[in-house]
Chain A
Amino acid sequence: MRPGVVVLAAGNRSRGDDAIGPLLLERLASWLAAAGRSAEFELIDDYQLQIEHALDLQDRRLALFIDAGWRTPAPLAFYAIAPAAAAAGSSTHALSPQALLGVYRQIGLADPPPAFVLCVSGERFELGADLSPAMQAHAEAAWRQLQRLCAQPDAARWRAMAGAGAD
């Protein structure tokens, strides 16, 4: 039996603020372990979302995507998402969380679980860069938001929190 909640974090630890997803996921893993709640969640990190991640959404009751944002609201944005078509690009890179839900629905699976995005605003993404000072501050706000979400992983509650701001 799969854990009911899946948290997918996308990012590259060697590219400055892009590391925020994996870093938050690491912190969440420790927090859940200390609380004896690891079995409720599956935590997945990857460089970016791809079509096979649709299969990671199967048999879940709730999904959370964590990612860095560029030119997105600071310190963070938290919002519910719905399935959408992926824009055709020029290379095989990444899908948006919305496009991943679209893939899920169209490959013969039932409707995807309620899904939300925690997008943490960043500004520095160069190879070898550390987290920017701004992202370090945003990371703390994001961590508090993540704790609140995971304390009560319930779709109705998350919907109420969506759009309510960071703090």
Chain B
Amino acid sequence: MIQKLETAEHPGTLRRVAIDAVSRVEGHGKVTILLDERNQVQQVRLHIVEFRGFERFIQGRPYWEVPVTVQRLCGICPVSHHLAASKALDQVVGATRLTPTAEKIRRLMHYGQILQSHALHFFYLASPDLLFGFDSDLSRRNIVGLAAAHPETARRGVLLRKFGQEVIRITAGKRVHGTGSIPGGVNKSVTPEERALLLADIYQIVGWSRDAVRLIKDLHAQNAALYNSFGVCRSNTMSLVGTEGELDFYHGSLRARDANGGILFDGVDYGDYSQHIEEEVKPWSYMKFPFLAAFGKRNGWYKVGPLARVQNCDRIPTPLAEIERREFIDYCGGLPTHAPLAYHWARMIEMLHAAETIKDLLHDDAILGDDLVRSGTRATEGVGVIEAPRGTLIHHYRVDEDDLVTMCNLIVSTTHNNQAMNEAIRQVAVRYLQGREVTEGLLNHIEVAIRCFDPCLSCATHALGQMPLSVELIDAEGRLVHDLARNGDGSFAYSGD
């Protein structure tokens, strides 16, 4: 842990390098690095704007609108918010147990979301770095370059993503702005024709997912020294696990382990999340820093997401993914790995598990049923937790007697990973930038570390005309020495002395 690099002693005397990954009008990520006159790294910070505005936005609205409205929070994983809100509001309408059809339709929707999100992440965002190298020719380091060199890999990425979107369209009613999940259940099941449509492709999808695990496994084997050491940040981990300790993205109880894999807590009802998780505010960041309350701010921070989940569970309840999990655990010597690049391997194991689960659910006649909704004794409060593609997602609502939301609290996966991402980029900055002149290739190492976690950067806004990335180097007297801007076509423009 190198938290000492969070705040430099005399920042005013240092040069500042800003990696400004601006891809949205409001809500964006930025990395600032302070270097002294010998290019020694003195301070590294990742700044991400959080979604706090959304919690105010949702207050005063009727609770039944919420599962649909919350999808506008995130354009990448709207289904996760749709389902987390639904789970919280199940409690408000007194649906303590869903019908088998409702639960399986929701699971199908969610595993479709995991599949498409993981496919997008790996094939579009991560694999160009992994296949070509972190400081390879920039013109190749994108999906178009990937497609030119590995056309079948790129094609599969698009088709895996498309299949996941089809699962969502069928279960949620629409490709976007779905309405399928409602407080107490779902409003539609799957027709035999829709099932047949998905079954026609699912075996191919499972096969491609296996190949994807093989691809990332081979990459690890080819460069184990890099993959096992790049940006390592030891920490606690946290995720949902199922009733028997199995990997479960949709439902379960909270489990946390320490950096060596020892259990810190287990079987925690997620309705009690606020007793176990606290959030620290730091003056330099818009995003809070959650930590496990019992272990304090300094030692209680943790990772969530694929790497945490695959190592936190006792088993994966589908055969092919379980074989891969065991191989992954064996590769790591039976102890938890904290290497950010291992996120990609874990992510592909999860994608395989999602594909296998979708196959199993498609063969379950319960998804064709018509018993869709439950209700019971009305409550005024509900907590819904789900394992979203990037990690644990918490939705918490209070509702008054007029059915209006009076309180909303969300903790998204990017917030859980805030400290871990900061630690990872500090490790990378020290290892790769220390004492060297900054180049695009070196700065990409920082972004590679961030990409492992795939943070959400307030992604529900999109507008043309923005600069995806800019880098400023400012000397100790505050003068702009040069700046480096990445254009929309991936080229770099450089200006300065």
Contact = CB atoms under 8 A, between A and B. Distances in A.
A-B interaction:
yes
B57 A127 contact: yes
Interface string A115-150: 001010010011110000000000000000000000
A60 B56 CA distance: 43
B144 A86 contact: yes
A70 B157 contact: no
Given A87-B469, A87-B486, A91-B457, A14 B462 contact: no
A47 B460 contact: yes
Chain A interface, >50% SS class: loop
Contact of B463 (A69, A83, A107): A69
Contacts of B147: 103, 106-107
B144 A12 contact: no
A14 B81 CA distance: 15
Contacts of B158: 51-52, 54-55, 103, 107
Contact of A72 (B51, B464, B487): B464
Given A51-B143, A68-B464, A90 B175 contact: no
A14 B69 CA distance: 9
A94 B461 CA distance: 10
B466 interface: yes
A122 B24 CA distance: 13
Contact of B459 (A13, A46, A48, A117): A48
B120 interface: yes
Contacts of A94: 23, 75, 459, 462
B25 A70 contact: yes
Interface stretch (B246-254, B336-344, B427-435, B448-456): B448-456
B26 interface: yes
Interface string A38-75: 00000001111111101100000000000111111000
Given A12-B461, A70-B465, A90 B450 contact: yes
Contacts of A45: 176
Contact of B154 (A48, A107, A122): A107
A89 B488 CA distance: 10
Interface stretch (B124-132, B206-214, B308-316, B366-374): B124-132
B408 to A, nearest CB: 13
Interface of A: 10-15, 17-18, 45-52, 54-55, 67-72, 83-94, 96, 98-99, 102-103, 106-108, 117, 119, 122, 125-128
Interface of B: 21, 23-26, 29, 51, 53-54, 56-57, 69, 72, 75-76, 78, 116-117, 120-121, 123-125, 128-129, 139, 141-145, 147-148, 151, 154-155, 157-158, 161-162, 165, 175-176, 444, 447, 450-451, 454-457, 459-466, 468-469, 486-490
Given A12-B461, A47-B462, A54-B158, 17 more contacts: A12-B462, A46-B175, A47-B460, A48-B459, A50-B161, A51-B157, A51-B158, A52-B158, A70-B464, A85-B142, A88-B447, A89-B447, A90-B450, A90-B469, A91-B450, A93-B75, A96-B464
